[in-house]
Amino acid sequence: MTYLARHRRPGEKRARTIVIACGVVIAVIALLQFLLPHFMPGLWTSFARPFWRAEFSVSSGALQSPEQLMNENEMLERQIADDQVRLQSVNALESQVQEFETLLGRTATSSRVLAAVLKRPPYSPYDELVIDLGHDNGVSSTSLVYAPGNVLIGRITDALSQTSKVMLFSSPGEQYQVLIGNAHTPATAVGRGGGQYQAQVSRDVKVSEGDYIVDPSLNDHVFGIVTSVVSDASDPFATVLFAPPVNIYQLRWVLIQK
């Protein structure tokens, strides 16, 4: 009896191998993420951290000539001297506020630590930052993140050993309670991505461009500045569009509240 030899094309075999390999990869990733959720991000980030640090150092001017650095240093020293004068009046006001808080029994105790921003939007997707401090430095996944100038911008979502991921409140769909304008109207800020927020308030509430948005804590940190108010005669609500006073695309340092 003669049988026809079963013949498979090489392409067919290759496609099947790829499908099986993909299945194995998915299973391994799912298992690892289920058992050790920080293993893969920690492992890959430990490889990438030296490159990101080097990139940060280069962008911070580590390769500039000594003459350029000295000029820059001189300019910065002048700037510091100017700022110190202004800082003294701010310090006086702060100490006054602290005195009032102490009188009212509401002393704010918070320790903040400076972190370098290794990756920021638009290159990092998902509207997030990668910073160079992790749980080895006391950062936890409940820590809040401030931009220079005491501007609340996000929170730590994943603290690895030496790096952490920061989810910006402006990430699409993220929500945060805020107070709008001089009347401190409560509203929910919804992230629109790219450092932009929107919130809905009653059309009767007076909000105009340039009004401050603050977070409803004891310290009233600035959260954003109103850039536009969109209202329609047929809609009982007005949409307030606002952005933080800092450019998230240019952030190099942030403060982490432990």
Partner 1 sequence: MNKGKIIGRIIFDLVIAISVLSGWWFIALPVAICGVWLFSYFAEIVIAGVAYDAFFGMVPEMGWKGYVATIISIIILMITAGLKKVVRK
Binding site for partner 1 (CB under 8 A): 9, 11-12, 14-15, 17-19, 21-22, 25-26, 29, 33, 37, 40-41, 43-45, 48, 51-52, 55, 119, 123-126, 128, 130, 157-158, 165, 167
Q: Which is nearer to partner 1, 19 or 80 (CB)?
A: 19
Residue (of 153, 152, 154) closest to 167 by Cα position: 154
Distance of closest approach, residue 190 Cβ to partner 1, in angstroms: 16
Q: Are 140 and 122 in contact (CB under 8 A)?
A: no
Q: Which is nearer to partner 1, 11 or 210 (CB)?
A: 11
Q: Are 129 and 247 in contact (CB under 8 A)?
A: no
Q: Which is nearer to partner 1, 38 or 221 (CB)?
A: 38
Distance of closest approach, residue 100 Cβ to partner 1, in angstroms: 37
The rounded distance, in Å, linking the Cα atoms of 157 and 179 is 24
Q: Which is nearer to partner 1, 158 or 215 (CB)?
A: 158
Query: Which residues on neighbouring strands pair with residue 240, listed in sequence order?
Result: 199, 229
The pairing of strands 144-147 and 185-193 is unpaired
Q: Which is nearer to partner 1, 52 or 146 (CB)?
A: 52
Distance of closest approach, residue 224 Cβ to partner 1, in angstroms: 23
Residue (of 245, 255, 171) closest to 210 by Cα position: 245
Distance of closest approach, residue 208 Cβ to partner 1, in angstroms: 35
Distance of closest approach, residue 230 Cβ to partner 1, in angstroms: 28
Distance of closest approach, residue 38 Cβ to partner 1, in angstroms: 9
Q: Which is nearer to partner 1, 42 or 245 (CB)?
A: 42
Token pair 């979502």: residue = 157
Distance of closest approach, residue 194 Cβ to partner 1, in angstroms: 15
Q: Are 178 and 195 in contact (CB under 8 A)?
A: no
The rounded distance, in Å, linking the Cα atoms of 187 and 213 is 10
Q: Which is nearer to partner 1, 174 or 215 (CB)?
A: 174
The rounded distance, in Å, linking the Cα atoms of 64 and 32 is 44
Token pair 């350029």: residue = 68
